[in-house]
Chains A and B, each alone.
Chain A
Amino acid sequence: MTQLPNLIQSNQLKTGYLAEMARSKQHQATVKYDRDFDALLVFFQTENTQIVAHYVDDYVALLYIAENLEIVGLQIEDFTLSFLPAHENVARLWQLRGTGEEVSDMGDIIFYAEKIPKVAQEVVKAAEELLGEQGQELAAAFG
Chain B
Amino acid sequence: MANIFETKDPRGFKVVCSEEQWNDHILANHSDMEGLEQKVKEAIERPTMGIFEDARHSDRKIYYRKQPKKFYIKVVVAFEGDSGFVITAFPTDSGKSGEKLI
Interface set of A (CB-CB < 8 Å, partner B): 1-8, 32, 34-37, 39, 41, 49-55, 57-58, 61, 66, 78, 81, 108
What are 24 pairs between A and B in contact, CB < 8 Å?
A: A1-B100, A2-B49, A3-B99, A4-B48, A4-B49, A4-B99, A5-B94, A6-B93, A7-B70, A7-B94, A8-B70, A36-B21, A37-B25, A37-B76, A39-B88, A49-B32, A50-B71, A51-B32, A52-B92, A53-B92, A54-B94, A58-B55, A58-B97, A81-B56
Total contacts A to B, CB within 8 angstroms?
88
Using known A-B contacts A7-B72, A50-B69, A52-B71, determine if residue A34 contacts B55 with beta carbons closer than 8 Å.
no
Interface set of B (CB-CB < 8 Å, partner A): 21, 24-25, 28-30, 32, 48-50, 52, 55-56, 64, 69-72, 74, 76, 87-88, 90-101
Using known A-B contacts A7-B70, A34-B25, A36-B87, determine if residue A55 contacts B30 with beta carbons closer than 8 Å.
no
Using known A-B contacts A1-B100, A7-B70, A66-B69, determine if residue A55 contacts B24 with beta carbons closer than 8 Å.
no
